[in-house]
Structure 1
Amino acid sequence: MNFKAIAIAAAAAAAATSAQAADLPADIAPVDYVRINDAYGAGFFVLPGTETAIKIGGRVRVEARFTDLLDDEDYSREDNNHNFRSRANLRIDTRTQSELGLIRTYMDFQYTSNSDSRGSDGVKLDKGYVQIGGFTFGLATSAFDLWTGELASNLFDRHLADDTVWQASYTHALGNGLTIAASIEDNADREQGVDIGVADLNKAGNTLPSFVAKVLLNQGWGYAGLSGAVTKVDTSVGRDSSEVGYAIAGAVGFNLDMIAPGDVINFQAAYADGAMAYVGAESDVADAVLDADGDIETNKAWSVAGGYMHNWTSELSSGVEASYLDVEAGAGDADFNQVVVAGTLEYRPVSGLLFSAGAGWKQDDVDGASKEDAGVLNFRVQRSF
């Protein structure tokens, strides 16, 4: 091929390329890539076209629970001596900076299915709230609650206040790890009714919210906290329409990294007058009793609890927790006390994956009656993401 032929071919190629380029749009819209935002922790990214950071996570847990292990337990034929349960949580957390400060929303959707003939939770909103600066509005952990336990197993409940409630609260940081909080909370879930001498406890309805306050100190060595609540005790029968109930609690926890990284030990004590849920009493323990004159006489109770979590290795840990509840019942009802001891062995071979085995023992001691013991075993597999 001579030089003239090469020149003609090059000119033709240039003309074709120019024609194709002319067919392309003059402006190409920039790609709006997803940006990582770790200012609020791992897992947050920025929603395209906004300044809102979002994190999507959750967990799935599957467990087997075995009861009716001791002679004192009396399960009827329609009850299951063992129960299998699957529970899934979907959690969505958003953060946006604004002129009002940080605006946060949090949603925790919980889906439960279990084989227990006594029912299944089904689908519920476990938590759902909006935070604006130091204010919280919605369904969130009660401001009263301090230590709620460490064990990763479904065993007998220790006598700890651990409830999610509707609330309007404010938390203020004073500096150096010290915060104070005040909260107005719906008492519907924590109202345990009045014993009027019939099968079911009497509840007059949710007529007034609870008022809660807390002071909490977080330091490198651990934490210390004090909380209190004032409630209203109602009944729809009797001469008195209501009484005032209250509760106080104190807790302290210590980081024991000198024994093993991540080791913690916790202690908590609580006292309640007409507010049994705040000391971790079971839901069938009434807040008060209606006496023969039709007056409301509040029940009184105190509880103590403690627990230690030890890490044998970075993957293997074990924990033990125990609690004691003492109830002084009014209007002739029997006083009683209850002891709970629980322990677990927990294995985390990779991040977010948990295998746990737990055992629990509970003893009820009612004045004038024999002591009754109950036992439970639990095995759990859980994946968090």
Structure 2
Amino acid sequence: MNFKAIAIAAAAAAVATSGQAADLPSDIAPVDYVRINDAYGAGFFVLPGTETAIKIGGRVRIDLKINNLTDDEDFGGVDDDGDARNNQNFRARANIRVDTRTQSELGLIRTFADFQFTSDTDGRGNEGVELNAGYVQVGGFTFGRASSTFDLWLGDLSTNTFDRHISDDTVWQASYTYAVANGLTLAASVEDNSDRQHDIIDGTAAGNTVPTFVAKALLNQGWGWAGVSGAVTKLDAVDADSSEIGFGIAGGFGFNLDVIAPGDALNFQVAYADGALAYVGADETADAVLSGGDLEANTAWSVATGYKHNWTSELASGLEASYLDVEAGEETADFNDFNEVVVASSLEYRPVSGLLFSAGAAWKQKDVDGGDKNDAATLNFRVERSF
């Protein structure tokens, strides 16, 4: 091949290459890869095309609860249809949680939704989805369904046994939390009392006519925590001559006992309520007695404590106990003074992150003034996977 032929071939190749290049787009959009954002903790990533960090997680729980372990207790009873409940109950529960965070000129904007699915042998045919929690936070403000501002220590046992006498409720609210300094926060809230309201003995409850007002001061330090909270609500009934004011107050503290083992904690809490017994963790009771048109508020106080010990990084156990004392505003055939004690324990094993195997046992005794003293005991076995 001579030099002239080589030159002609090179020129032809150059023309073909320039023609193909002219057919390609001049600007290629960059690929918007998903970015990790760990500023809010593990699991958050940035939604493409936005500055919003999102985390999708949840858990699945499987429970077996064995009841009626004592001779004189009536824990099983009957359901709303008059059918006998089982002495054992199997439950499957799944939670899907969506958490978003966005920085703005108003501060951090957060949304959180927790969708809960439950199916158990005591409620077959009633399976469904509920919004366990759902709220919007803008700066220090919270709007929606979230843990009550009143609540302090919620207990540490990872089992499903008898409830200790501790206030632990998720309520509709509008609240504001202000961080003062050095771990001290102040909070105030306006809350719907529907989930906390109990019966009126010999009267028809009128429901909520005004919201509940709640305030709390909480101190968190390296040694532990301390806090006080209070709530004021309205007590009413259709047949009552006038309404009454109900209230609840609580105080507590906890110590981090890392000197014994990492993660160990000892907690203590006391509460008092007048006409608002949910604030002392009293269930299956009444807020007041209607007598001759007058509302006589029932009063109660409770004390609760618990210790959680970590034997190893995978194995832990806990013991909690509480005592409740209820005094009727006026004793009737349907309502008398009573006290109740609950003791609960758990053994928890976490072989890998997010996986829990636990076993729990609990005992309670209710002593009614002038009536019976009944005992109850239960066992619970749980497998839980969180993600």
* TM-score under structure 2 length normalisation: 0.93
Q: CA deviation at 1:118?
A: 7.9
1:243 alignment counterpart: 244
How far apart in 1 are the matches of 2:124 and 2:230?
34
Q: Please list every run of 5 or more consecutive structure 2 residues that lacks an aligned counterpart in the other structure.
A: 78-82
The equivalences for 1:150-161 within 5 A come to 150-161=156-167
Distance (whole Å) between structure 1 residues aligned to residue 124 and residue 5 of structure 2: 91
2:86 counterpart residue number: 80
Whole-angstrom distance in 2 between the partners of 1:355 and 1:12: 74
1:104 to 99, 110, 115: 110
What is residue 266 of structure 1 aligned with on the other side? Answer: 267
Asked whether 1:48 is paired with 2:48, we answer yes
The answer to whether residue 324 in structure 2 is matched with residue 322 in structure 1 is no
In 1, the alpha carbon distance for the partners of 2:276 and 2:386 equals 35
Name the CA shift for 1:85/1:203 in 2 (closer, same or farther; >3 Å): same
1:6 and 1:353, CA in 2 relative to 1: closer, same or farther beyond 3 A?
farther
| Secondary structure in structure 2 of the residue aligned to 1:18 | helix
Task: Give the distance between the partners of 2:330 and 2:85, measured in 1 at CA.
Answer: 33
Q: Out of 344, 347, 350, which is 2:346 matched to?
A: 344
Name the CA distance, whole Å, in 2 between partners of 1:14 and 1:59: 62
- For 1:203-214, list aligned pairs within 5 A: 203-214=205-216
- Residue aligning to 1:124: 130
Equivalent residue letter for 2:323: Y
- Which one is further off, 230-239 or 152-161? 230-239
Could you tell me which residue of structure 2 aligns to residue 145 of structure 1? 151
Deviation of 1:102 after TM superposition, in Å, equals 1.1
**Residue in 2 that maps onto 1:225:** 227
What whole-Å deviation, never above 9, does each CA across 1:259-278 have from its counterpart, x for those lacking one?
A: 00000110000000000000
Helix, strand or coil at the partner of 2:28: coil
* Aligned partner letter, 1:305: A
Residues in 2 aligned to 1:120 and 1:326: alpha-carbon distance in whole angstroms: 34
Residues 5 and 146 of structure 1, relative CA distance in 2, 3 Å threshold = same
Deviation per CA, 1:31-88, whole angstroms, max 9, x where unpaired? 1111111111111111111111111111111111111111012345621111111111
- Bigger shift: residues 338-347 or 49-58: 49-58
Structure 2 counterpart of 1:169: 175
CA distance in 2, matches of 1:186, 1:48: 38
Letter in 1 for 2:260: I
**Which moves more between the two structures, 91-100 or 263-272?**
91-100
Native 8 Å contact 1:274 1:300 kept in 2: yes
Return the letter of the residue paired with 2:340. Answer: Q
Q: 2:139 matched to which residue of 1?
A: 133
CA contact (8 A) 1:248 1:271 kept: yes
Task: Determine the structure 1 residue equivalent to 2:80.
Answer: none
Which secondary structure does the structure 2 equivalent of 1:287 belong to? strand
Aligned to 2:184: 178
Report the alpha carbon displacement of residue 117 of structure 1 after superposing the two structures with TM: 4.4
- Stretch of structure 1 that moved more, 102-111 or 223-232: 102-111
For the residue of structure 2 that corresponds to 1:179, the secondary structure is strand
Question: 2:313 aligns to what SS in structure 1?
Answer: coil
Q: How large is the Cα RMSD of the aligned pairs?
A: 1.7
How many angstroms apart in 2 are the aligned matches of 1:259 and 1:355?
A: 23
> Which residue identity is paired with 1:30?
P
Distance 2:302 2:126 in 1: 29
Normalised by the size of structure 1, how large is the TM-score? Answer: 0.94
Judge conservation of contact 1:79–1:118 (CA < 8 Å) in 2: no
Moved more, 261-270 or 70-79: 70-79
Q: CA deviation at 1:119?
A: 7.4
Q: Distance in 2 between matches of 1:115 and 1:2?
A: 93
In the alignment, residue 369 of structure 1 is paired with which amino acid?
A: G
Partner residue, 2:336: 334
What whole-Å deviation, never above 9, does each CA across 1:144-172 have from its counterpart, x for those lacking one? 00001111111100000000111111111
Report the Cα offset of residue 192 of structure 1. 0.5
| Aligned mates of 2:92, 2:16 — CA distance in 1 | 64
Which residue in the other structure is 1:67 paired with? 67
Deviations 1:275-304 (A, max 9, x none): 00000001x21000012x221000000000
2:275 paired with 1:279? no
- CA drift of 1:122 comes to 2.4
Q: Which consecutive unaligned segments of at least 5 residues does structure 1 have?
A: none
CA distance in 1, matches of 2:66, 2:4: 93
